[in-house]
Amino acid sequence: MDYSKESSELSREVKEKALSSGAELAGVISTASIDAVSKHWVGWEVQSYTQKTTDYMDEPRSVIVLGYQAWDDIHELMIPKGDWYEYPVYQRMRLFARRLLRFLEGKGYRAVIYPNLLSQKRVAQLAGLGCFGKNSLIINPKYGPWFRLQSILTDAELVPDAPFEEDLCGDCEECIKACPVGALTPYKIDPEKCLLGTYLNIKDDPVYRSLLDEHMPNLTKNGVIMCMTCQKTCIYGREERGLEPLE
């Protein structure tokens, strides 16, 4: 598909604004590309099937995908509150994303931040940010698995980026071997086993106390650092994260 000069220029401006507003990565996909992905179940904190872009907006055209580096353990803070979790890093990311939303609205376009029932990992792969890793996270060549995703749906017609097609994992399965509860199989995670998915049910169980102390230590009375054990085995993004090289 040929895109107009105006679409190309707007795409350049959008990415410049995203990168100057806190994001380390920015890519674009057409809404047709994500809507072509088969509906599937999201079974983590959200219990629902994925939706289409038209469930969020009439006549949407593009999704802007933003990647924010998690360069410190504080970005992995999770605060249980009742039967749900709060993630401070996502509030930071949302504030940064709102700068881009206001930029689009200032040019007369509609925009919606974080349409979470679009597949966020799939939009990231389609936008060229990285590949699906065997730890079930998106892996970027520079930042590895150490970045988090936001997205903006808009009716602005932007020029899509090429999908990320390379499999960075290859034959490596160190993340699978490292998972303390055996929650990983290649490219999939079992939320019924993962410490993050089961935390509220096991946090007061003495049987799991030593496991949680090692892999999900408390930072405050209620706040815990999410398990990063599988990420720490990844060869990608270690220098950017300040981790020692793997031998």
- Assess whether 140 and 23 both reside in one domain: yes
- Assess whether 65 and 117 both reside in one domain: yes
- Assess whether 188 and 131 both reside in one domain: no
- Assess whether 232 and 126 both reside in one domain: no
Strand locations in 147-244 (E)? 147-154, 184-185, 188-189, 224-225
State residue 48's pLDDT score.
Answer: 85
* Total domains, the chain: 2
- Total residues found in the chain within this entry: 247
φ/ψ of 243, rounded to 5, equals: -95, 155
- Assess whether 27 and 134 both reside in one domain: yes
Structural domain harbouring 179:
174-239
**Among the listed ranges 42-51, 55-64, 124-133, which one has the minimum average pLDDT value?**
42-51
Is residue 118 within 8 A of residue 50, CB to CB? The reply is: yes
Asked if residue 193 belongs to a domain, the reply is yes
Asked if residue 160 belongs to a domain, the reply is no
Planar angle of CA 98, 123, 45, nearest 5 degrees: 75
The last residue of a domain, from among 101, 122, 154 = 154
Tell me the mean pLDDT in the region 101-108: 98
- Assess whether 139 and 200 both reside in one domain: no
Asked if residue 109 belongs to a domain, the reply is yes
- Assess whether 224 and 128 both reside in one domain: no
Alpha carbon separation from 212 to 32, 76, 209 (Å, rounded): 42, 14, 5
State residue 85's pLDDT score.
Answer: 86
- Assess whether 27 and 99 both reside in one domain: yes
Q: Indicate the pTM of the whole model.
A: 0.95
State residue 45's pLDDT score.
Answer: 66
Spatial separation of the C-alpha atoms in residues 143 and 211, rounded to whole Å? 27
> Residues 12-51: pLDDT tens digits?
999 999 999 999 999 999 999 999 999 988 776 677 899 9
- Assess whether 148 and 214 both reside in one domain: no
Asked if residue 164 belongs to a domain, the reply is no
- Assess whether 53 and 117 both reside in one domain: yes
Spatial separation of the C-alpha atoms in residues 89 and 79, rounded to whole Å? 11
**Residue found under tokens 């086993």:** 193
- Assess whether 17 and 127 both reside in one domain: yes
The last residue of a domain, from among 93, 125, 154 = 154
Is residue 150 within 8 A of residue 97, CB to CB? The reply is: yes
> Residues 205-229: pLDDT tens digits?
999 999 999 999 999 999 999 999 9
- Assess whether 135 and 191 both reside in one domain: no
Percent of the chain with pLDDT over 90: 89
State residue 2's pLDDT score.
Answer: 86
Asked if residue 169 belongs to a domain, the reply is no
- Burial (0-12, 13-18, 19+ Cβ within 10 Å), 182: exposed
